[in-house]
Amino acid sequence: MRNKHIIAPSVLAADFSKLGEQLEMINQSEADWLHVDIMDGRFVPNISFGANIVKTINKVCKKPLDVHLMIEEPGRYLKDFRDAGAEILTVHLEACPHLHRVIQQIKDLGAKAGVAINPHTSVDLLDDVLEDLDMICLMSVNPGFGGQKFIYQTLPKLRKLREKLETRNLNPFVEVDGGVGLQNAESILQAGANFLVAGSSVFKSENPIESVKKLKAIGSETWV
Ligand code: DX5
Ligand code: ZN
């Protein structure tokens, strides 16, 4: 079935000195999910925050939390983030030598299971777990920082992934994360995404509520 695409503002780009206000604003907006970036300073060259902050965010935010773990050994922390309120837990393929096990651990916790891949990682590497996934996240920047430029090689990757999903009759969330805004959202959706993360293009814009509305209004229907 075709439906409307999902918009998930990334809280990493919010002004943390007034986090409560920023989350209230997201509550008022047409955003579907809130994207929450966890960085450990090892898997990626930056540190963000941990499960306690996620718990605090979850108390104020009425949107479900899409938690993106850019950390090594994510299996050790899944329960903490699930307890903190994560609805989707996404781990990186590059951080998981035992990816299948980690996916099962996420499911056992009752969360939706996502796998993210870096710009250089082929979607073919997901072939043997596709049936197990609720979300596939294609990174369209090298993870670690908000506000980077969209890598256009993501578009052919998306098309390839969408073809595989159609052939196998699967319909997970296909998320694109990094450098997404009004200037490229339409081509990303056309290439096969149905879930867009938007950090700077929402929180750093003059009118974030309006920016979400515009992102939401792009196209009429999508791959859901
Ligand atoms: C990058 C993060 C992204 C980031 C997106 O490492 O995973 O989720 O917050 O921010 P923008 O939209 O500003 O690229
Ligand atoms: Zn992210």
Question: pLDDT band for position 116 (50/70/90)?
Answer: very high
DSSP letter assigned to residue 40: B
- How far, in Å, CA of 91 to CA of 114, rounded? 6
State the distance from the centre of ligand 1 to the C-alpha of 107, rounded, in angstroms.
Answer: 25
User: pLDDT tens-digit profile of 140-163?
Assistant: 999 999 999 999 999 999 999 999
Supply the CATH number for residue 118's domain. Answer: 3.20.20.70
Residue 115 has pLDDT above 60, yes or no: yes
User: pLDDT tens-digit profile of 117-144?
Assistant: 999 999 999 999 999 999 999 999 999 9
- Which residues are part of the catalytic machinery? 37, 177
**Position 39 in a domain:** yes
Q: What token pair was written down for 52?
A: 């306690």
Task: Annotate 94-116 with DSSP letters as a single string.
Answer: GG-TTHHHHHHHHHHTTPEEEEE
pLDDT for residue 1: 41
Whether residue 180 has its Cβ less than 6 Å from ligand 1? yes
Whether residue 198 has its Cβ less than 6 Å from ligand 1? yes
Q: Which domain holds residue 184?
A: 6-223
* 119 and 139 Cβ atoms separated by less than 8 Å: yes
Mean pLDDT of 78-89: 99
**Mutate which of 141, 154, 184 for ligand 1 pocket (most atoms within 8 A of beta carbon):** 141
**Position 67 in a domain:** yes
Please state the atom number of ligand 1 nearest to the C-alpha of residue 198: 12
C-alpha closest to that of 201 among 150, 153, 138: 150
- How far, in Å, CA of 185 to CA of 219, rounded? 9
**Position 1 in a domain:** no
Residue 113 has pLDDT above 60, yes or no: yes
Q: What token pair was written down for 222?
A: 């999508």
Terminal-to-terminal C-alpha distance of the chain: 6
Q: Are strands 86-92 and 65-70 parallel, antiparallel or unpaired?
A: parallel
Share the mean pLDDT of the chain: 97
CA-proximal residue: ligand 1, atom 6 (nearest): 143
**Position 60 in a domain:** yes
**Position 32 in a domain:** yes
Mean pLDDT of 210-217: 98
CA-proximal residue: ligand 1, atom 1 (nearest): 143
Whether residue 175 has its Cβ less than 6 Å from ligand 1? no
**Position 185 in a domain:** yes
**Mutate which of 148, 149, 184, 211 for ligand 1 pocket (most atoms within 8 A of beta carbon):** 148
pLDDT for residue 126: 98
Task: Annotate 130-190 with DSSP letters as a single string.
Answer: GGG-SEEEEESS-TT-SSPPP-TTHHHHHHHHHHHHHHTT---EEEEESS-STTTHHHHHH
pTM for the whole thing? Answer: 0.97
- How far, in Å, CA of 150 to CA of 176, rounded? 10
pLDDT for residue 222: 63
Residues in the chain: 224
Residue 113, amino acid: A
Q: What's the number of domains the chain is made of? A: 1
State the distance from the centre of ligand 2 to the C-alpha of 72, rounded, in angstroms.
Answer: 15
Residue 2 has pLDDT above 90, yes or no: no
Find where tokens 């903490």 sit.
80
Whether residue 172 has its Cβ less than 6 Å from ligand 1? no
**Position 173 in a domain:** yes
pLDDT for residue 221: 64
User: pLDDT tens-digit profile of 21-36?
Assistant: 999 999 999 999 999 9
Whether residue 9 has its Cβ less than 6 Å from ligand 1? no
* 103 and 97 Cβ atoms separated by less than 8 Å: no
Task: Annotate 187-199 with DSSP letters as a single string.
Answer: HHHHHT--EEEES
